[in-house]
A and B are shown apart, each in its own frame.
Chain A
């Protein structure tokens, strides 16, 4: 047996990342903000990616044209999603693959377990797939008696260290080299390991080599499905993906229904954008494309599980639909000033950062992730870097209005100071005389809190939420209307 110890299996392995269980964003973020090591690790990683990305995007003179093209391709794919999925299914099946459909996480997990049982698989090797984290696949398989081996370096670090992913491209970016050393030394039984990334990487290579050659069943995600050919594309760096795609006898690929591209040629746009946006490279080290089953080359049994899990209902909404254009490059989180400070865990979802802030509430029917649409300063950096031009601020605003609509109907909100205040404001602002009266009362009321410097530094009750982090200028002694009226009187 390997050095991997059996471990306790909580109901939710990533409870911290389960939107149903995670604390609201401001609460979760506070925990991170108090952890200087974590903040340092995140900021360092983000700085490195951002610098590289900036340089490589700048050298591409047709970057904006590529973004336009990518946006058009993704829009076309979504506008005809039904026909492209059927086309993919037809072509993949003709090439020897089997296509399955799963409406939600439960169905997908059940399907995958059934496929593994047909193979008598007790162990399975995995390529990093965020979709499988979304459906909490690993803890489910382990509870069902299947040993899961993650093979991406970052995923091994997380799996052996019992950690949660905090980024969708570099999931362990919150863990530094000495923390990795500690995890590997403990779980692989390598006491004399140094914290040199090269040595740590070699330890992972040796640890996995035997697994690649021995375990005949693999699970992967996919970056793209190609409707025209029934092909599947996986974009990676390490080669663990190629190992999983080539050596096993059986491959199960789980993929969200939105990942389909109409044509093979669409890759000429997507691949130019993806690596530059994701890791700041001209091209990632390895891209693999395969179509069904090829005799003599790679897995001879191939299954694709097409997962809906809330996606088709996002497609119904005109503003939010663009969320599904996402190709999971993570450029938005690297560019986000909020993510930079909080890291990924604060978002309480497998999808963090700006894209997570719009995707999670939609996948989870909002009530579990109400704070996420507010986890943004709306600065628009995410929209600017997005290679498929998702207008994230626009979707954030739309979701915010939905949160408010949902909340203000609740009876529990009737006496909530904020909602009460806003209802009163609504009445006051509707009539000029009410508004003038309110101005005068506000001037008198706030005088109590206004310091000599003309600023309000602290307010009671809900007002305190504002003054907790910023000052408020005191009411002026005269409104513009009053000043104007006075001036007119004087000149007469």
Chain B
């Protein structure tokens, strides 16, 4: 038997001495494994849609992310404006991103790393100046952008190496609270990245410094794909 396998037996045996003692003291239904627990905390937000989206924008700006809004029809043009304003030329995109979003006049590298596809090598991605992706959803309460790394959101490395990240967020995908995001997940994701503002550190005298290793610049386009409610 390998060390690990014998360690496994010893550890589980040692744990079971304790867990069986606990079960003997506390044999109620609620104490069973996987029994659902009470949720007295706030799961659903109370804000109307306009305020909720406003909160999302505010929170993102607090993290020094730049946010612009547009209608779904203007999306292509807005992306182009952001790309032009960045002064950069070479961008990488995941293969699943709509082709119409890849404005003419820039160098586009397309990453098809999902499943059987062949992805770009890390040093090729490293050479690009920016990345454009979609997102799974946004959480207004904490200004968090959530990626599940689908074909539109790209492999994890894509939103990591380039210094500049332009992220498209659909207004209909913005939720107010973190628990509402969990409600949106039909299945738990196998891969996920929750981004709250650009990379930062406060390790030197608790001074928040933007951009240690991840992208230093986060730009968000909030596409207003739901009808405005007043």
Give the chain B neighbours of A321 by CB distance below 8 A: 18
Instruction: Verify if A298 is at the interface (C-beta below 8 Å from B).
Output: yes
Give the chain B neighbours of A285 by CB distance below 8 A: 63, 195-200, 214
Number of A residues with CB within 8 Å of any CB on chain B: 100
User: Contact: B205 with A212, CB < 8 Å?
Assistant: no
A-B contact pairs, 25 of them (CB 8 A): A61-B42, A101-B8, A198-B209, A213-B126, A237-B201, A239-B213, A242-B160, A246-B157, A246-B160, A257-B15, A262-B34, A263-B34, A265-B182, A268-B178, A281-B196, A282-B59, A282-B141, A290-B191, A294-B190, A294-B191, A295-B115, A296-B114, A297-B119, A298-B155, A312-B14
Give the chain A neighbours of B34 by CB distance below 8 A: 262-263
* Inter-chain CB contacts under 8 Å: number: 256
Among B139, B188, B198, the residue within 8 A (CB) of A231 is B188
User: Contact: A264 with B188, CB < 8 Å?
Assistant: yes
Instruction: Verify if B189 is at the interface (C-beta below 8 Å from A).
Output: yes
Most chain-B CB neighbours within 10 Å: which of A180, A279, A286? A286
Contact (A103, B11) CB under 8 Å given A201-B201, A297-B114: yes
Instruction: Verify if B230 is at the interface (C-beta below 8 Å from A).
Output: no
User: Contact: A313 with B14, CB < 8 Å?
Assistant: yes
Among A151, A238, A263, A291, the residue within 8 A (CB) of B191 is A291
CB distance from B176 to the nearest CB of A (A): 13
User: Contact: A242 with B35, CB < 8 Å?
Assistant: no
Give complex CA distance A288, B199 in Å.
Answer: 13
User: Contact: B14 with A297, CB < 8 Å?
Assistant: no
Contact (A197, B212) CB under 8 Å given A69-B39, A316-B21: no
Number of B residues with CB within 8 Å of any CB on chain A: 82
Instruction: Verify if A229 is at the interface (C-beta below 8 Å from B).
Output: yes
Give the chain A neighbours of B31 by CB distance below 8 A: 76, 79
Give the chain A neighbours of B203 by CB distance below 8 A: 152-154, 157, 170, 172-173
CB-nearest residue of chain A to B193: A288
19 additional contacts, CB 8 Å, given A103-B10, A103-B11, A289-B189?
Answer: A45-B206, A76-B35, A101-B5, A153-B201, A176-B205, A177-B204, A197-B209, A237-B202, A238-B199, A239-B160, A240-B213, A246-B160, A247-B157, A264-B182, A283-B142, A288-B193, A290-B191, A295-B115, A298-B157
Give the chain A neighbours of B196 by CB distance below 8 A: 275, 281-286
CB distance from A409 to the nearest CB of B (A): 25
CB-nearest residue of chain A to B32: A80
CB distance from A407 to the nearest CB of B (A): 26
Give complex CA distance A84, B141 in Å.
Answer: 31
Give the chain A neighbours of B157 by CB distance below 8 A: 246-247, 297-298
CB distance from A59 to the nearest CB of B (A): 10
Q: Which 5 A-B pairs have CB atoms at the shortest separation, nearest pair first?
A: A239-B214, A239-B213, A264-B188, A238-B212, A283-B142
Instruction: Verify if A200 is at the interface (C-beta below 8 Å from B).
Output: yes
User: Contact: A296 with B119, CB < 8 Å?
Assistant: yes
CB distance from A150 to the nearest CB of B (A): 12
Give complex CA distance A176, B205 in Å.
Answer: 6
User: Contact: A272 with B178, CB < 8 Å?
Assistant: yes
A residues touching B (Cβ–Cβ < 8 Å)?
A: 41, 44-45, 48-49, 61-62, 65-66, 68-69, 72-73, 76, 79-86, 95, 100-103, 107, 110-111, 151-154, 157, 170, 172-173, 176-177, 180, 197-198, 200-201, 204-205, 208-209, 212-213, 226, 228-229, 231, 237-240, 242-243, 245-247, 257, 262-265, 267-269, 271-272, 275, 279, 281-292, 294-298, 306, 308, 312-313, 315-316, 321
Instruction: Verify if B211 is at the interface (C-beta below 8 Å from A).
Output: yes
User: Contact: A79 with B23, CB < 8 Å?
Assistant: yes
Among B4, B21, B113, B193, the residue within 8 A (CB) of A242 is B193
Among B7, B117, B188, the residue within 8 A (CB) of A229 is B188
Instruction: Verify if B179 is at the interface (C-beta below 8 Å from A).
Output: yes
Give the chain A neighbours of B192 by CB distance below 8 A: 287-289
User: Contact: B12 with A85, CB < 8 Å?
Assistant: yes
Give complex CA distance A173, B188 in Å.
Answer: 36
Give the chain B neighbours of A312 by CB distance below 8 A: 11, 14-15, 18
User: Contact: B4 with A62, CB < 8 Å?
Assistant: no
CB distance from A73 to the nearest CB of B (A): 6
Give the chain A neighbours of B198 by CB distance below 8 A: 285
User: Contact: B202 with A287, CB < 8 Å?
Assistant: no
Give complex CA distance A195, B42 in Å.
Answer: 44
Give the chain B neighbours of A279 by CB distance below 8 A: 202
Give complex CA distance A387, B188 in Å.
Answer: 24
CB distance from B137 to the nearest CB of A (A): 13
Instruction: Verify if B37 is at the interface (C-beta below 8 Å from A).
Output: yes
Instruction: Verify if B50 is at the interface (C-beta below 8 Å from A).
Output: no
Contact (A296, B117) CB under 8 Å given A246-B157, A247-B157, A321-B18: yes
Give the chain B neighbours of A226 by CB distance below 8 A: 188
User: Contact: B194 with A283, CB < 8 Å?
Assistant: yes
